[in-house]
């Protein structure tokens, strides 16, 4: 009998890492590992890392410093680093932190079982290749265990856009789409195991080309999967929103009225310097077309303040774009210089205090819009897919069609069910209501 070992996996970064972590747990399941939520009793600890901003990457080294202490107490403990920091700084990690046994880049997860053999023999293992073979073909089939009502499903990886600030084209490689057959098989399997809502993932998901009719074609195929109630997708690039995808927002009932469509800046000068391949006006016109197809769509976005060369006027242009577009929800970041990206070469870096001021101003505006969008839901009846118990006894938490977190008093049997809830209250980041 193989002895069971415990795996502790900590996930940083985007949803794609969340999905990959699930797949890694499954891949190592074949080697006798089960997941633990406490690092202290783990036989292996994996950090699934993010390289998008400097802070995210530096966090990994301090975390590894802490884990070194655990290894001192338990010399059999193996420590691994996966994800985008592994891809970008594999050798460097091994050099800076000798406690690390294993480094695996995002395209090599199917090789984890062999790498595990190697570290069990007391050797180090490093794999940051971009292999020819498809990791999803080689990864263990998902075990048939029951799952929660929502799931991520990666359909596309990598990015060919090369925005001047971004590491993703380097850490995840070129755009690759999974075949629609493979995606549909996985989706049906997820639904059999209790999933009701699938979020299709890709760094550039609307450039998906694994179906002859693109992402819209895939969505319409998924629309026919019995038992699947909701479809979402993220993240999209404005240049790849084709007519069929826009139309689907108006005609496909399972496609939810929520869209994350980052613009990064409202200044044409900065958009050009960022290599975003569209103007502010083209973005605004695009939003108009999507809203014509689906008027109640809730829009989300990403913004960067303090890109090299950004002036007060450029920042004002961003604020004006936000006022014109209106976001129900959005993320905003201070520009962070990333080694190896074109923007890192620019000399006109923006002062840190200026970045902070601009971020505060933008976030204040975005928060006001989010609050307004949430308050507009009060009094309305929305569909909520309940996902889990709330903090208060007798309460369940789920998401509305618009991705708002909603809690309501409801029996546990309603977990996994989509029900109508009348919204009564809006607080920071969530809504509450009563069953109707």
> What does 16 bind: ligand F3S, ligand SAH, ligand SF4, none (CB cut-off 5 to 8 Å by kind)?
ligand F3S
At a CB cut-off of 8 Å and minimum separation 6, what does 230 contact?
Answer: 196, 197, 198, 254, 256, 385, 401, 418
β-bridge partners, 198: 151, 231
Q: What is the dihedral angle through the alpha carbons of 269, 320, 283, 291, rounded to the nearest 10 degrees? A: 180
Among 49, 107, 156, 235, binds ligand SAH (CB under 6 A): 235
Among 304, 325, 373, 382, binds ligand SAH (CB under 6 A): 304
| Size of the residue set binding ligand SAH (CB under 6 A) | 17
Write the interaction track for ligand SF4 spanning residues 286-325; mark x where CB under 6 A is met and - where it is not. Answer: ----------------------------------------
Among 16, 79, 166, 271, binds ligand SAH (CB under 6 A): 166
As a residue count, the chain comes to: 436
The reply to whether 196 sits near ligand F3S by the rule CB under 6 A is no
The reply to whether 52 sits near ligand F3S by the rule CB under 6 A is yes
Stretch that binds ligand SAH, among 72-80, 161-169, 267-275, 286-294 (CB under 6 A): 161-169
The reply to whether 195 sits near ligand F3S by the rule CB under 6 A is no
At a CB cut-off of 8 Å and minimum separation 6, what does 265 contact?
Answer: 271, 274, 276, 280, 303, 304, 307, 310, 314, 317, 318, 321
Among 87, 203, 265, 374, binds ligand SAH (CB under 6 A): 203
Query: In whole angstroms, what is the distance from residue 363 CA to residue 356 CA?
Result: 10
In the complex with ligand SF4, the residue whose CB is nearer, 127 or 157, is: 157
What radius of gyration, in Å, describes the C-alpha atoms of the chain? 22
Residue 278 · residue 271 · CB < 8 Å: yes
The reply to whether 171 sits near ligand F3S by the rule CB under 6 A is yes
> What does 304 bind: ligand SAH, ligand SF4, ligand F3S, none (CB cut-off 5 to 8 Å by kind)?
ligand SAH
Among 29, 105, 149, 169, binds ligand SF4 (CB under 6 A): 169
At a CB cut-off of 8 Å and minimum separation 6, what does 113 contact?
Answer: 27, 28, 30, 31
Among 9, 139, 168, 195, binds ligand SF4 (CB under 6 A): 168
Among 108, 203, 300, 400, binds ligand SF4 (CB under 6 A): 203
The reply to whether 207 sits near ligand SAH by the rule CB under 6 A is no
Nearest to 193 by CA among 152, 148, 140: 148
The reply to whether 83 sits near ligand F3S by the rule CB under 6 A is yes
Full DSSP string of 147-182? --SEEEEE-EE--S---TT--HHHHT-S-EE--HHH
> What does 136 bind: ligand SAH, ligand SF4, ligand F3S, none (CB cut-off 5 to 8 Å by kind)?
none
Residue 202 · residue 156 · CB < 8 Å: yes
| Size of the residue set binding ligand SF4 (CB under 6 A) | 10
Q: What is the dihedral angle through the alpha carbons of 224, 226, 231, 237, rounded to the nearest 10 degrees? A: -30
The reply to whether 167 sits near ligand F3S by the rule CB under 6 A is yes
Name the one residue in this structure whose structure tokens are 């699930």: 22
In the complex with ligand SAH, the residue whose CB is nearer, 107 or 336, is: 336
In the complex with ligand F3S, the residue whose CB is nearer, 18 or 414, is: 18
- Interface with ligand SF4 in residues 212-241 (CB under 6 A): 237
> What does 169 bind: ligand SF4, ligand F3S, ligand SAH, none (CB cut-off 5 to 8 Å by kind)?
ligand SF4
The reply to whether 283 sits near ligand SAH by the rule CB under 6 A is no
Query: In whole angstroms, what is the distance from residue 165 CA to residue 433 CA?
Result: 42
Residue 400 · residue 408 · CB < 8 Å: no
> What does 7 bind: ligand F3S, ligand SF4, ligand SAH, none (CB cut-off 5 to 8 Å by kind)?
none
Query: In whole angstroms, what is the distance from residue 118 CA to residue 97 CA?
Result: 19
Stretch that binds ligand F3S, among 9-17, 191-199, 239-247, 392-400 (CB under 6 A): 9-17
The reply to whether 232 sits near ligand SAH by the rule CB under 6 A is no
């Amino acid at each position: 009998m193989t002895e069971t070992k415990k795996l502790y996996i900590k996930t940083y970064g985007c949803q794609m890492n969340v999905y990959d972590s699930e797949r890694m747990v499954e891949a190592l399941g074949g080697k006798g590992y089960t997941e633990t939520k406490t690092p202290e009793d783990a036989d292996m600890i994996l950090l699934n890392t993010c390289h998008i901003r400097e802070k995210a990457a530096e966090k990994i080294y301090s975390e590894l410093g802490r884990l070194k202490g655990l290894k001192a107490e338990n010399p059999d403990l193996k420590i691994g680093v996966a994800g985008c920091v592994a891809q970008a700084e594999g050798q460097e990690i091994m050099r800076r932190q000798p406690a690390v046994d294993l480094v695996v880049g995002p395209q090599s997860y199917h090789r984890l079982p062999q790498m595990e053999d190697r570290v069990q023999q007391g050797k180090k293992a490093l794999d940051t290749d971009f292999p020819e073979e498809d990791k999803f073909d080689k990864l263990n089939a998902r075990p048939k265990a029951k799952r929660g009502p929502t799931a991520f499903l990666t359909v596309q990886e990598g990015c060919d856009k090369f925005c001047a600030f971004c590491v993703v084209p380097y850490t995840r490689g070129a755009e690759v789409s999974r075949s629609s057959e493979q995606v549909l098989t996985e989706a049906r399997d997820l639904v059999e195991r209790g999933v009701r809502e699938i979020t299709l993932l890709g760094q550039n998901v609307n450039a998906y080309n694994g179906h002859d009719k693109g992402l819209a074609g895939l969505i319409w195929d998924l629309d026919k999967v019995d038992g699947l109630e909701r479809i979402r997708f993220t993240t999209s690039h404005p240049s790849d929103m084709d007519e069929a995808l826009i139309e689907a927002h108006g005609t496909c009932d399972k496609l939810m009225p929520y869209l994350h469509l980052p613009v990064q800046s409202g200044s044409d000068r900065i958009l050009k310097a960022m290599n975003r391949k569209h103007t502010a006006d083209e973005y605004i016109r695009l939003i108009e077309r999507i809203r014509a197809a689906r008027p109640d769509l809730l829009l989300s976005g990403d913004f960067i303040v303090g890109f090299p060369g950004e002036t007060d006027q450029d920042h004002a242009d961003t604020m004006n774009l936000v006022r014109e577009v209106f976001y129900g929800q959005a993320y905003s970041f201070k520009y962070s210089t990333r080694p190896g990206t074109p923007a890192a070469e620019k000399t006109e870096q923006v002062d840190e205090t200026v970045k902070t001021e601009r971020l505060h101003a933008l976030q204040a505006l975005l928060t006001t819009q989010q609050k307004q969008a949430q308050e507009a839901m009060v009094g309305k009846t929305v569909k909520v897919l309940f996902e889990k118990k709330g903090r208060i006894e007798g309460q369940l938490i789920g998401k509305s069609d618009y991705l708002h977190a909603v809690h309501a008093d409801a029996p546990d049997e309603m977990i996994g069910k989509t029900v109508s809830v009348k919204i009564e209250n809006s607080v920071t980041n969530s809504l509450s209501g009563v069953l109707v």
